[in-house]
Amino acid sequence: MFAATASVLRRGALRYRDSQCTMATIVSGNKTAQQVKEQLKKEVAEMKNQFSGFRPGLVVLQVGDRDDSNLYISMKLKAAAEIGINANHIRLPETATEDEVLRSIVAVNENPAVHGLIVQLPLDSINTIKTEKVTNAVSPDKDVDGLTSVNAGKLSRGDLGDCFIPCTPNGCMELISQTGVSVMGKNAVVIGRSKIVGAPMHDLLLWNHATVTTCHSKTLDLAEQVGRADILVVGAGRAEMVKGEWVKEGAVVIDCGINHIPDSSKASGKRVVGDVHYPSAKERAGYITPVPGGVGPMTVAMLMKNTVESAKRFLQTYTPGKWNIDYTKKKPQEPQLSDADISRSCQSKPIGQLAREVGLFSEEVEPYGRSRAKIRLDSLKRMEKQPDGQYVVVTGITSTPLGEGKRTTALGLAQAFGAHLNINAFACVKEPSPGFCFGARGIAVGGGYSQVIPLEEVSLQASGQNELISATSKVVMDTIKAHAHYETKLSEKALFDLLVPLRRGQRSFSPAQLNRMKKLGIEKSDPLTFTETEIRRFVRLDIDPDTATDPGSLENEIMAILSLSSSVEEMQQRLAKIVVATNKSGDAVTTEDLDVSGPLAMLLKDALKPVLMQTVEGTPVFLHTCPLADIAQGSPSILADKLALKMVGSEGFVVTESGQGADTGLEKFFNIKCRYSDLRPDVVVMVATVRTLKMHGSAPPVHAGLPLPKEYSQENLKQLERGCCHLKRQVENAQVFGLPVIVAVNKFSSDTDAELELVCGQARQAGAFEAVQCSNWSDGGAGALALAEAVQRAAKLPGQFRFLYDTQIPAADKLRTVAQKMNGAKDIELSPKAKEKLALYTKQGFGNLPVCIAKTHLSLSNDPMSKGVPINFMLPIADIKANAGAGFLCCLTEPEYFQKPLLVNTIRRAICRCQLKLYRAKRKP
């Protein structure tokens, strides 16, 4: 690399010998370092050309604020800037503990944008910190100082091409090479045995075939040893300890020392000298490095060289925007195993490994067993400037009670992108509700070779969010009872003393209480100035007991809040808006009025973290929240979708799901979830099956738990074609939102080729962008390859997303729009109770919220027996509840709808507990 310079030096050496001059040739570290940096600058420019926007990254971690350390760091940062390295300086205070230092190192180790990490020594902390422990915490792949035991071990055994060499010895070797003197076969003496200079210098010279002697403070015949050295490297840290008369004639002398000695002629009163007495040594040496200007600049240059080398190694396995992830392509067995047997046959990778593969840092991952982890919300903040990936929502037609495989298709599509097309892909699905763990649809999330594993953990071992929601609901209900009790038992002054207690002669309001006073129009912040009237208005909630919410509705709204919140702060704001009752004046009473929104947020903050798991083929999945699909929006959380979209990168895909059919679940996904998330999907995938379309074509009803009627296993194209009118209607429903629609026909073993082709043809005629057959239940991701390729093509179309209605129009008009455009109703029919509630909620300020129509999922109408495309029906609205915290008006087609989920889920949870006990009993050896 530096042959020209070496040639110049050799010619200078020959002229020196020919003239019989006694002065040594000075080997300038400044010049050589500058040449190294110029070469590195060219290499960095080549990297940028090859990978647009790429820059080698370097971090210098400092503890304390030592002046000498600051000087060295400024030199390193300046050199990095000259070369084009992105260098950052992290300074921890002198109060930093060992754990804090180690955590900072781990964070840098895991940052793919950083290729070199230096821990500036000494560690200037008031606390005890083990230097060796800190040094060895640096990843060997980023240890550009070459100080870890791993790199030192590789150097000591001669693996020079597979380690980072410490910078000062590496710089010394570069300077020796500039002299033109061959190291091979020479007698080399190293004075000093430190881990930073002496020991690695010995190894470097040895593996470059010199005969090496290491001397130190206990060496008795130091002058004699020095006198035999053809190459002398001194790093003892003692000013001018090596005398000129010790040096062999013509030897190469490399002085690593930096010492300060008194000098009255200098303004500072001292000057810098090396470990060699330079004036006398240059009279005998053939080549000598000065101090300063010798080894020092080379140390910095070699640090930069190691950083660039680390970046080169990184780029060898780096593909822009691609995860370095290991997928497991499963070979299906014939006959196909059960879901449980497939899950047991798959060895899921440790969740920490999966998290690293998809770009998460260890401090962002909270393991929840071997195969699950909760992801901290800090990760989303870290990635907020990264571009989002492509956003795909999976919906379906109106299904039979057995379901159509929407979730299985969603997981299979994500597997096709990841394991088969090598595209970053994430699936986001709802957590299994306890109510459905042992229903007719099975206990897995997905099914066959497109399911989340391990089955037992995902289906039977909850992540804890349901328990937290139950506890939160109990806090609210108990607080309501407490208020009602104490308002009848205590005076207003006593209530005020309880709510705003006197502490050290002072009272102060909580933030929630200040907000309550704003609502009451009380413009005071000092409790001591309150009048009796103001105290009464403040402490008396006057709850109408007949309007108090029930625990089931409350739990459902809290789950919806979890699903629709993008941060802890937003969750707390939503929790504060939950209407728990109405007072006797007709005003809403909220959890903020109860002053419990803060404690509720503390209880639920862990439940807000998405749960990371994996599919059969190793594709990452977020499971998060399970809001009901009838009286809520019924889709996985906004946070899961947002985080996944950042993680996959601009070329990746996130596949999320909506509950129920397109007329209900997809409508709520767009009009509720997308309003609050500000996310706009790129493609809609609609899942259809021959079985369901036969049902809509007048085949006998399907009942969960009973054998299918024979019509579903026999080819009947006429019946199927009649049922395709429903598919056409649902495609039109999805197209209303302005997005391309792809129909995925989920294949069953009883389906014939003619039936499948008929459905695909009818879907295309209905206006679908594409219609493809899918066999991901039996074939995994390979069975959804055609679907993935169709989604890729559709995602390139320019988006024209639009909402179904403007939230500012009257609530009745919003309901009418949904009923007519999604369900095909002639109009809506509001009951007297619904009209009364609507007037009340409009007065309370909730009239501009989106609407959520709760009706049967078995028909486009409110009659579950009405199949196909019902027409000329009135959609009844029997009751309305304001879910002000979640942010929508829940409108019921049946007056019992609020009671049903609570009753059904209570029964199902009891069944679930019994089944779980039986399952565990069977698993015992």
Give every CB contact of residue 468 below 8 A, 6+ residues apart in sequence. 603, 604, 606, 607
The two counts, helices (H) then strands (E), for the chain are: 34, 30
Q: Which residue has the tokens 């402490």?
A: 539
Q: How far is the C-alpha of 246 from the C-alpha of 256, rounded, in Å?
A: 17
Q: Give the closest residue to 348 by CA, choosing from 364, 324, 326, 376.
A: 326
Q: Give the closest residue to 742 by CA, choosing from 714, 720, 765, 764.
A: 764
Q: Which of the 8 DSSP states describes residue 266? A: S
Do the strands 653-657 and 588-590 form a parallel or antiparallel pair, or are they unpaired? unpaired
Q: How far is the C-alpha of 464 from the C-alpha of 619, rounded, in Å?
A: 23
| Longest CA span, the chain | 117
Q: Half-sphere exposure of 893 toward its Cβ, with a 13 Å CA cutoff?
A: 24
Characterize 62-79 residue by residue with b for buried, 16 or more Cβ atoms within 10 angstroms of its Cβ, and e for exposed: bbbebeebeebbeebbeb
Between the alpha carbon of residue 624 and those of residues 346, 705, 727, 796, the distances in Å are: 23, 28, 29, 29
Q: Give the closest residue to 44 by CA, choosing from 81, 84, 87.
A: 84
Q: How far is the C-alpha of 95 from the C-alpha of 114, rounded, in Å?
A: 26
Strand order in the sheet with 851-854: 851-854, 888-892, 879-883
SS3 track for 158-210: CCHHHCCCCHHHHHHHHHHHHCCCCCCCCEEEEECCCCCCHHHHHHHHHHCCC
Q: How far is the C-alpha of 332 from the C-alpha of 334, rounded, in Å?
A: 7
In angstroms, the first-to-last Cα distance of the chain is: 68
The pair of structure tokens assigned to 475 is 């806090």
Torsion of CA 538, 544, 545, 550, to 10 degrees: -90
Could you tell me if 677 and 566 are in contact, meaning their C-beta atoms sit under 8 angstroms apart? yes
Q: Which of the 8 DSSP states describes residue 584? A: T
Could you tell me if 784 and 412 are in contact, meaning their C-beta atoms sit under 8 angstroms apart? yes
Which positions are catalytic? 76
Could you tell me if 135 and 119 are in contact, meaning their C-beta atoms sit under 8 angstroms apart? yes
The CA-based angle 900-901-904, given to 5 degrees, is 80
Q: Which of the 8 DSSP states describes residue 371? A: S
Between the alpha carbon of residue 527 and those of residues 486, 501, 542, 888, the distances in Å are: 20, 10, 21, 35
Q: Give the closest residue to 541 by CA, choosing from 575, 581, 578, 501.
A: 581
What DSSP element (H or E) covers 74? Answer: helix 67-83
Between the alpha carbon of residue 414 and those of residues 10, 409, 418, 734, 794, the distances in Å are: 64, 9, 6, 21, 16
